[in-house]
Structure 1
Amino acid sequence: MLKETAVRGICSLLFAAIVPLSGPSIAASSENKISVTIGVLNDRSGIYADISGDGSVAAARMAVEDFKAEQQGLDVRIISADHQNKPDVGASIARKWYDTEGVDAIVDVPTSSVALAVSEITREKDRVFLNSGAATSDLTGSHCSPNTIHWTYDTKALANGTGRATVKAGGKTWFFLTADYAFGHALERDTTRVVEEAGGRVIGSVNTPFPSMDFSSYLLQAQASGAKVIGLANAGGDTINAVKQASEFAIMRSGQKLAGLLVFATDVKALGLQRAQGLLLTSPFYWNLNDATRAWSERFAERTGGELPTMVHAGVYSSTLHYLKAVKAAGTTDAKPVLKNMKMTVANDSLFGQGRIRADGRKMHDVHLFEVKKPSESSEKWDFYKLVATIPAEEAFGAEPNPACRMDPS
């Protein structure tokens, strides 16, 4: 399946490279429509392909259709490419899209190091970046940009959800396995702060290569530390491999707990409920949270061969929809009026409900603390989670803009 995804990603990139597209400003067609080009930039063939990949392209297209773009006077084109989880590759694609292919907005972009690079180029080119896939809270902190909106989740919300709940449940001492790049370090940093605020302490950590297939030596270090909680500051395939190998070493049976700080439904599917049961996780979206999320997810599955959406896919849909509304209202794709409209208008859709965008670019909405069900509690395919608590947006992300963000809020 990954090979097929890789081929599709390469084909998408080649297609994007050869098809002449419109420029960044208003380009009126014969029907006097506004031409809009949106680039979905993500991992199409690697460790994060399942949480973003083709599903994010499907989600963006659903947003265009649900907005009824043609009827609204917009001629929208969706293109896509694989950044291979490499900042230089992602930056090169973003620059090419902006310089020669008329891309107005880039969406998704998992892998925090890539997202930070794309954010900087987007600011330089004065376009729009709607991030759904990356987690680092630095996107609205020390690396904030007036051109970037961080939509779905971030390391601060993950820490305030899973991290705080784990400490309250008795996990007072922590040892981190940290993916050695921007995301992992941000997640360890933000979770450490929450653990210490809640009365716990961190007694050690180890940086792990990204991506990694073998966590055995790192897990043994964590086991030897005697920490009550092993915090997995990683995601996707890294989380799956770490949990599987921890199970093989019987780490949980010895009394230590795993805290999967960023867990997706696709991870639980890969692990199986037998291994994943009891894991706490934080997410603003779950396909079966309510009737509206279920209906949308069933439509999504029809386009993806039965695969249900992750929160990244939901974020791509939601951010694209809000962006298209802003383009329509502004009457242009020029970044400044579009972003101004996005930030002054309530974001409202069936997946996240009503929300606002903070001055630093953080999209505000409630997040949820879930627990993975036991096999005996699951009644259907993909029935993975039970709701533990809903965390208000201000508690999860912070009510005020990140003080590390120095951009002019205007």
Structure 2
Amino acid sequence: MTRLAALSTLLLAATVLPAAAQVSDGKVKIGILNDQSGVYADFGGRWSFEAAKMAVEDFGGKVLDAPIEVVTADHQNKPDVASNIARQWYDTEQVDSIMELTTSSVALAVQGLSKEKKKVTITTGAATVELTGKQCSPYGFHWAYDTHALAVGTGGALVKQGGDTWFFLTADYAFGYSLEEQTSNFVKANGGQVLGSVRHPLSTTDYSSFLLQAQSSGAKVIGMANAGLDTANAVKQAAEFGIVQGGQRLAALLFTLAEVHGLGLEAAQGLSLTEGFYWDRDDESRAFSQKFFDRTQRMPNMIQAGTYSAVTQYLKAIQKAGTDETEAVSKALHEMPVEDVFARGGKVGANGRMIYDMYLMEVKTPAESTKPWDYYKVLATVPGSEAYIDPAKSGCPLVAAQ
């Protein structure tokens, strides 16, 4: 009778075993790794950390009855610094997943390390298509945008609207070259011409000689294949030269609401750009963005809203899988549709690329803006199927192996 009672007790314990037992270390820990002090500090920065915390709070603070923790660090745009932080997080601090990863070289380095460690990465802040191309990972996901989507949105769509001659102002490193090349391809594919380009050092402060070359080219569109403060400073100095007033159009190939706000409408007016999220799109996006504003005093851009989405989807995947084990969570992330305030009708391709619609925007004039943060008018919607590379053509060996 005693043995029977003992067996009954064991069976009962098994049936009431808490779901947290399916979670490693009894908690889910997410790391937000990005630039918080350099040229991209406003692009994602500590605001992405706030978005991640907001996602956890909205999820209820727990998944499978286990608490959720979010940590953050500044990678200083250095792949070696980022890799060291990621290794420490994985080896000694029980971090389960790393997200955001602004700067392509950083994202590639951390995704590569995470592949070795069998950890999930979800990149929202970096642009390179290599993350879901030749250097794809079974545990790597690319969420908010990439260079292909920016090139299609700003390059292809602007040509269709009459901007058929281009001159590029390009940051002199791999990201800038890639963005210029991909946008040039879409300009030409849509019947446009590239009249030339000039390259500038990263983080330069004087764009006068480069802008004068662009202005004298006579191109209808000056495409800025740079990002962050580089783009902001170039746009500011272009306003001083009266380039837009002279009839040429500025196209920022990677620019977001945060940088427009920093510049102000007087300098940024007329600028064309592509984003995957706009706070004033509809009632749902306005409600979410107001909540974000209440805690940060700013409206979210696509990086910050994308981080909110990525964290939420990761937690949903853990819930669906019934565990935080990497293989099971990655499988769930590939299978689940993405339907939230950030992405409508989104889906994850076999290469890890999340496919959803992008928007070609034009920055309003001060006279057109009727309220705070009322900065954009939507010129065109770019369907996700056009914005992103078909996974089968991405060069990802995981797709080829299927």
Same fold by TM-score, threshold 0.5 exceeded?
A: yes
Cα distance in 2, alignment partners of residues 301 and 260 from structure 1: 25
Residue in 1 that maps onto 2:124: 132
How far residue 183 of structure 1 moved from its aligned partner, in angstroms, is: 2.4
Identity level (%): 51
1:339 equivalenced with 2:339 (yes/no):
no
1:21-100 aligned at under 5 Å gives the runs: 28=20, 34-70=26-62, 72-100=64-92
1:229 equivalenced with 2:221 (yes/no):
yes
How far residue 290 of structure 1 moved from its aligned partner, in angstroms, is: 0.7
Asked if the contact 2:360/2:380 (under 8 Å) is kept, the reply is: yes
1:189 equivalenced with 2:199 (yes/no):
no
| Larger Rg over CA atoms | 2
How far residue 232 of structure 1 moved from its aligned partner, in angstroms, is: 0.3
1:252 equivalenced with 2:254 (yes/no):
no
Residue in 1 that maps onto 2:153: 161
Q: 2:385 aligns with which of 371, 378, 394?
A: 394
Cα distance in 1, alignment partners of residues 85 and 181 from structure 2: 30
Structure 2-normalised TM-score? 0.90
Cα distance in 2, alignment partners of residues 162 and 363 from structure 1: 19
Amino acid at match of 2:71: I
Which one is further off, 270-279 or 80-89? 270-279
Residue in 1 that maps onto 2:171: 179
Residue in 1 that maps onto 2:100: 108
Amino acid at match of 1:324: L
Cα distance in 2, alignment partners of residues 343 and 64 from structure 1: 21
Q: Secondary structure at the match of 2:361?
A: strand
Asked if the contact 1:27/1:34 (under 8 Å) is kept, the reply is: no
Cα distance in 2, alignment partners of residues 251 and 157 from structure 1: 26
Cα distance in 2, alignment partners of residues 107 and 183 from structure 1: 20
How far residue 27 of structure 1 moved from its aligned partner, in angstroms, is: 11
Cα distance in 2, alignment partners of residues 335 and 343 from structure 1: 12
1:288 equivalenced with 2:280 (yes/no):
yes
Q: 1:261 aligns with which of 237, 253, 262?
A: 253
Aligned CA distance change for structure 1 residues 47 and 398 (closer, same or farther; 3 Å): same
Residue in 2 that maps onto 1:302: 294
How far residue 320 of structure 1 moved from its aligned partner, in angstroms, is: 0.6
How far residue 242 of structure 1 moved from its aligned partner, in angstroms, is: 0.4
Amino acid at match of 1:376: A
Cα distance in 1, alignment partners of residues 42 and 62 from structure 2: 30
Amino acid at match of 1:289: R
1:314 equivalenced with 2:305 (yes/no):
yes
Structure 1-normalised TM-score? 0.88
Cα distance in 2, alignment partners of residues 176 and 39 from structure 1: 36
How far residue 399 of structure 1 moved from its aligned partner, in angstroms, is: 4.2
Paired residues, number: 384
How far residue 34 of structure 1 moved from its aligned partner, in angstroms, is: 4.2
Residue in 1 that maps onto 2:342: 351
How far residue 31 of structure 1 moved from its aligned partner, in angstroms, is: 11
- What runs of 5+ residues in structure 1 fail to find an aligned partner? 1-25
How far residue 28 of structure 1 moved from its aligned partner, in angstroms, is: 4.9
Cα distance in 2, alignment partners of residues 227 and 142 from structure 1: 34
Cα distance in 1, alignment partners of residues 19 and 43 from structure 2: 34
1:382 equivalenced with 2:373 (yes/no):
yes
1:194-225 per-position Cα deviation (integer Å, ceiling 9, x unaligned): 01101122232233222222222222232333
